[in-house]
């Protein structure tokens, strides 16, 4: 009986050893393929990780691209608005140029005035009265008038053109200084030289000059918006004589309307009206 069991156990052990040998042989045969499969799986995992990373980068780039597109759309909208504004400005410039062209065309190229001064919107122009050229322009009225007076030859006249409205004026911020033997006049007595607010200065000053004429002009001192300042002042230690002030209205000067300083001689006043000065209407 024991012999039978021993034989059976031996047979089982033999079978197990055979199976193990077969398994070992099979494992040995398929091991390279398993290693290759593991290597391929490792590569696939690496590629999947790269793809996930690339997808993340693409998503970030897409978000950035959307933000940049939004910025570009905003810039495009601003450019379209700027383009519309430039078109409007271009149209206004064409209209202004057409106005100036017609205005200049209607002025005589040969006249008794050396210079015309006129106003368009907020800009003042000095036009040569003999050849019609616009020699100087600025938003500073005083600079334009003084330019015309200083470039007029002795005996020359600077004529202020009538404004589009009687409520408008030639607004100055500093003193007008006519040189010797010049005339400052306007087309009618409603043309006004008005001192801007907070300037506090004399409007017209004839200092150390002679033979100057101021004709047909309204002078407004805007006295409620200044601390000092006079309308027309004639002064000088060695000049200030032989002037003519004619058909001039002087009003609302902070201090004196017309002030003739020192002992100036041979100055003539004709049809001059002076109103509402802060201190003196006339002072000699």
Identify any residues that bridge with 164 across adjacent strands, giving them in sequence order. none
Residue with tokens 């970030």: 60
Tokens of 274: 């002076």
Q: What pLDDT is attached to residue 131?
A: 87
- Do 97 and 115 reside in the same domain of the chain? no
- Among 74, 106, 138, the domain boundary falls at 106
- Do 273 and 141 reside in the same domain of the chain? yes
Q: What pLDDT is attached to residue 110?
A: 43
- Do 24 and 120 reside in the same domain of the chain? no
Quote the domain boundaries for residue 138.
Answer: 110-283
pLDDT at 108 over 50: no
- Do 74 and 200 reside in the same domain of the chain? no
- Do 187 and 264 reside in the same domain of the chain? yes
Report the percent of the chain where pLDDT is more than 90: 46
71 or 37, which is more confident? 71
For 61, the 3-state DSSP assignment is: helix
DSSP H or E segment with residue 274: strand 268-275
For the stretch 181-210, pLDDT in tens is: 999 999 988 899 999 999 989 999 999 999
- Do 82 and 123 reside in the same domain of the chain? no
**CATH number of the domain within which 238 lies:** 2.160.20.10
Query: If DSSP states are collapsed to H, E and C, what string results for 39-71?
Result: HHHHHHHHHHHHHHHHHHHHHHHHHHHHHHHHH
Q: What pLDDT is attached to residue 17?
A: 61
Average pLDDT over residues 49-75: 88
For the chain, the domain total comes to 2
- Do 128 and 250 reside in the same domain of the chain? yes
DSSP assignments along 4-37, one per residue: HHHHHHHHHHHHHHHHHHHHHHHHHHHHHHHHHH
Confidence bin at 95 (pLDDT 50/70/90) = low
For the stretch 42-56, pLDDT in tens is: 888 888 888 888 888
Cα–Cα distances in Å, from 50 out to 56, 58, 65? 10, 12, 22
For the stretch 230-280, pLDDT in tens is: 999 998 877 668 899 999 999 999 999 999 987 667 889 999 999 999 999
pLDDT at 90 over 60: yes
Report the percent of the chain where pLDDT is more than 70: 81
CA 28 from centroid of its chain's CA atoms: 89
pLDDT at 117 over 80: yes
Tokens of 221: 């001192």
pLDDT at 15 over 90: no
- Do 161 and 65 reside in the same domain of the chain? no
For the stretch 25-58, what's the b/e string if a residue is b when 16 or more beta carbons lie within 10 angstroms of its beta carbon?
eeeeeeeeeeeeeeeeeeeeeeeeeeeeeeeeee
- Do 85 and 134 reside in the same domain of the chain? no
End-to-end CA, the chain: 165
- Do 75 and 158 reside in the same domain of the chain? no
- Do 89 and 118 reside in the same domain of the chain? no
DSSP-derived letter for residue 199 is -
- Do 136 and 273 reside in the same domain of the chain? yes
- Among 80, 106, 132, the domain boundary falls at 106
Confidence bin at 84 (pLDDT 50/70/90) = confident
Q: What pLDDT is attached to residue 21?
A: 60
30 or 181, which is more confident? 181
- Among 106, 129, 152, the domain boundary falls at 106
Confidence bin at 100 (pLDDT 50/70/90) = low
Which stretch of 46-50, 136-140, 176-180, 216-220 has the lowest confidence by average pLDDT? 46-50
């Amino acid at each position: 009986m024991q012999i039978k069991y021993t034989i059976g156990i031996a047979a089982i052990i033999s079978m197990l050893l055979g199976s193990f040998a077969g398994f070992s042989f099979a494992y040995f045969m398929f091991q390279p393929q398993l290693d290759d499969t593991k290597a391929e799986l490792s590569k696939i995992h690496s590629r999947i990780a790269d793809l996930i990373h690339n997808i993340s980068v693409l998503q970030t780039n897409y978000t950035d691209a959307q933000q940049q597109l939004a910025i570009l759309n905003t810039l495009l909208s601003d450019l379209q608005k700027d383009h519309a504004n430039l078109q409007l400005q271009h149209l206004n410039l064409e209209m202004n140029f057409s106005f100036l062209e017609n205005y200049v065309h209607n002025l005589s190229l040969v006249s008794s005035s050396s210079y015309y001064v006129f106003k368009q919107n907020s800009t003042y122009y000095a036009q040569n009265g003999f050849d019609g050229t616009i020699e100087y322009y600025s938003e500073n009225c005083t600079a334009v008038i003084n330019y015309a007076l200083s470039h007029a030859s002795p005996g020359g006249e600077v004529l202020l053109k009538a404004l589009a409205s009687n409520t408008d004026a030639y607004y100055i911020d500093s003193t007008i200084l006519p040189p010797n033997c010049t005339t400052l006049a306007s087309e009618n007595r409603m043309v006004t030289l008005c001192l801007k607010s907070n300037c506090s200065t004399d409007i017209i000053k004839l200092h150390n000059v002679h033979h100057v004429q101021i004709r047909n002009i309204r002078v407004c001192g805007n006295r409620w918006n200044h601390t000092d300042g006079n309308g027309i002042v004639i002064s000088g230690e060695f000049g200030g004589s032989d002037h003519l002030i004619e058909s001039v209205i002087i009003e609302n000067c902070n201090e004196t309307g017309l002030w003739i300083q020192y002992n100036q001689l041979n100055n003539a006043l004709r049809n001059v009206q002076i109103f509402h000065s802060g201190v003196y209407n006339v002072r000699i």
